[in-house]
Amino acid sequence: MTPSAQQDPYLHLEAVDSPEALAWVTERSDATVADLASGDHAEASHTRALEILDATDRIAWPVLRGGYAYNVWKDRDHPRGLWRRVPWSVLAGGAPAFDHPAWETLIDVDALAEAEGVNWVYAGTVVRRPEDDRALIRLSRGGADAVEVREFDLLERRFVPASEGGFHLPEVKCSVSWLDRDTLALAAPLAEDGSDATSSGYARVARVWRRGTAPVDGAVIFEGNDDDVAVGIGYDLDTGRLVASRSPDFHTSQEWFWRPGGDPVSEEPTRIPVPEDCRVGMSGQWLVLQPRTDIDLAGATYPGGSVLVVPWSAVDADPTALPAPTVLFTPTPSTTVEDVSWGRGRVLLTILDDTESRLEAYAIPGSGPDTDAGPGTSAIPDADATSPTRAPTQWRRLPVEGLPEHVSIDVLSLDRHAGTGTSTGASAGATPHPDDAVLAVSGPIVPPSLVLLRADGSTETLGSTPDRFDTSGIAVSRHVAVSDDGTEVPYTVMRGPGGDGPRPTILYGYGGFNVSMRPSYAALRGALWLETGGVYVVAGIRGGGEYGPSWHQAAVREKRPRAYEDFAAVARALVDTGVTTRDQLGATGGSNGGLLMGVMLTRYPELFGALAIAVPLLDMKRYHLLLAGASWMAEYGDPDSSDWDEFLGLYSPYQHVRPASEVRYPPVLMTTSTRDDRVHPGHARKMTAALEAAGHAVEYYENVEGGHAGAADNSQEARKAVLTYEFFRRRLTSS
């Protein structure tokens, strides 16, 4: 039932582009900019932030494809970015400067936006592998999740127009992959009546789209249900398998496949026989299984959070049951796997150990002589007949040398298909080894480095970002707070230079969707806050992925308040240990972290001196009716069921705003984006209106573009940062 104006007096603010709503937005945004972005300090901060974001001596983070490393580069002259590439041989010799003559510009997004009069934001590329001759370019209007897809010729470096048969997909939320030069696998809601969309607004069907035809006319080869989150489709180049996925909710999925060489139009797919809460990945001849809860396979039980591998050949032999897997990782109370990256001869596991990263590598059996473990490696022990956790295997541990400890590590890219086809890069010089990986390595006060992890396990630093702020006198320490139920909650304190007394402090948290908070480098945080003596704290509360699936599951649905109790416990600990005082303690979070801030405001207002709330969910009565909200009901619950009375309605911030005559709320900065098509800007708008009507201090800023990230270019990113840090600088008292 649609609520009436009496039930929700600010419902009209959900009309994103209505003149009335936009006039309301403009009035408040202009006032906030006039307040927080004015004055010598704010203007100097904006200049400093832009200098950092536009710096030309930063690393161009690469994606490896064939003989090239690709990158999107943004700076003052190119705020929307250049999609460009450089030969692998140049990158392997050291991270090339932004103006190195070897950089080849493929698309100038600023020029494209100006020519077409559209505020395009580059949103990614799907390249035809391993030929690397054609690409599908994803372009977003203002940073929204919905994208327009256009075909691009990498040999001639131009878009392929529809008049020449080029693929073109109008703006839509979609997934797409190449089957061959003239055929795509596409999952997108295209029907005018919405019959091929889920209730979350994503694709319900997958199609085969052939060149020269309309995408909506493509043969439907797979269908999900109306109340699913989404259907996806992809093609495995190594095995020639087309794989479809159906996600009943945000945390579950079913994976279906067609046998190599099969006709997906006339043949039915086969489901991979694993529980829906088991994440399935694949590379080459192998499946990788990452169960969220304990899983039973071949008479043995493997704990949630494990990383298991089985060969595709076993699925082909018996598609009704999987054999005993090889165990690459078993979780412990302090460790979890955050990422699995496949080369041709080795697989890399990114492991979080008390939120700090390390890598483990394993040789992939049957991948050729280059995968021989060699000296200094150890075999994974074979199981005896009674072991429930190991199966006979040829997988072997490989060395990873030279990486620092107490850092954050991301595997940026590795190209398992390097050298396997007629790649355009092959004629440009050397290609990387298919097991070479490029990594980003950083720490809270250690600027990012680009590191090459070679196939033999050795490492080489290709380049490092210069210090963007003065790290002298900044101390980093790890602590735990005790939550209401006795659970120890980790948090990291970054303390700027100065005396030992309490300081203005910003506490950051997220606590949802299995997302981990890691101690990594943030240049704007350092330059605009830490360097001047501020304290910044990152809390690893339940609901996140810091300690694996069980840490996440401890705060979903009816257990959601555990995340809020954890965050409040960290806030109290910071005051109790003398890091800060209540009036000096601010907190911030975005998206699900914005919901966290909303609960802090309405349930724990006595703990904070100020709150910054970004792109938030706040009206949990209607979140499932707005944009992608229905896809998150597995995380939060269903407001149209008893969930509302039992738990959702007990904390939903929008419904719990109280008048200033009854309670003192800390001052609030609320930010969002008009073009956010993931979390509806109506959440932030309505909450702001409710707070204003209740007599509370709230400042509001809505960027006209930027999508869920809140910013579409460096200037907007700088503006967003300055508003936040200036807000805290002015609102957190020094006493």
Nearest by Cα to 561 from 644, 636, 481: 636
Q: Give me Rg for the CA atoms of the chain.
A: 26
Q: Say whether pLDDT at 590 is over 50.
A: yes
Q: 243 to each of 220, 256, 257, 307, 444, how far by Cα in Å?
A: 14, 6, 4, 20, 40
Residue 394: what pLDDT?
84
Instruction: Kindly tell me if the per-residue pLDDT of 20 is higher than 50.
Output: yes
Residue range 168-186: mean pLDDT, rounded: 96
Spatial neighbors of 38 by CB under 8 A, at least 6 apart, are none
Active-site residue flag, 708 = yes
Query: What pLDDT score does 366 carry?
Result: 80
Rounded Cα distance, 221 and 268, in Å: 8
* Catalytic residue (one of 46, 417, 552, 708): 708
Under 8 Å CB-to-CB from 307, ≥6 apart: which residues? Answer: 288, 289, 290, 327, 328, 329, 337, 340, 349
pLDDT tens digits, one per residue of 123-141: 999 999 999 999 999 999 9
Query: Which 8-state DSSP code applies to residue 8?
Result: -
pLDDT recorded at residue 421: 61
Q: How confident is the model at residue 706 (pLDDT cuts 50, 70, 90)?
A: confident
Catalytic residue among 29, 199, 341, 591: 591
Query: Domain-by-domain residue ranges, the chain?
Result: 16-51+468-730
**Cα(728)–Cα(213) distance, integer angstroms:** 55
Residue 668 has pLDDT above 80, yes or no: yes
Residue 61: CB atoms within 10 Å: 18
Q: Which residues pair with 702 in a beta bridge?
A: 672
What does the buried/exposed string (b/e) look like for 175-203 if buried means 16 or more CB atoms within 10 Å of the residue's CB? Answer: bbbbbeeeebbbbbbbeeeeebbbbbbbb
User: What's the full length of the chain, in residues?
Assistant: 735
pLDDT > 80? residue 425: no
Q: What's the pLDDT band for 734 if we cut at 50, 70, 90?
A: low
Per-residue pLDDT of 84-124, as tens digits, reads 999 999 999 999 999 999 999 999 999 999 999 999 999 99
Distance set, CA 106 to CA 83, 582, 597 (Å): 6, 52, 42
Six token digits for residue 156: 């001639």
Residue 451: strand pairing partners: 439, 461
Task: List phi, psi (to 5°) of 628.
Answer: -85, 10
CA 354 to chain centre: 20
Q: Is 251 a catalytic residue?
A: no
CATH of region 16-51+468-730, choose from 3.40.50.1820, 3.40.50.12280, 3.40.50.720, 3.40.190.10: 3.40.50.1820
Work out whether strand 104-108 and strand 78-87 pair parallel, antiparallel, or are unpaired: antiparallel
Residue 568 has pLDDT above 50, yes or no: yes
The span from the CA of 653 to the CA of 656, in Å, is 5
Question: What pLDDT, in 10s, does the model give residues 344-383?
Answer: 999 999 999 999 999 999 999 986 544 333 323 333 443 2
pTM for the model: 0.91
Residue 77: CB atoms within 10 A of its CB come to 9
If pLDDT is split at 50, 70 and 90, which confidence band does 7 have?
confident
Is the model's pLDDT at 525 over the cut of 70?
Answer: yes
User: What would the DSSP string read from start to end of 426-486?
Assistant: GGGS----TT-EEEEEEETTEEEEEEEE-TTS-EEEEEEPPPSS--TT-EEEEEEEE-TTS
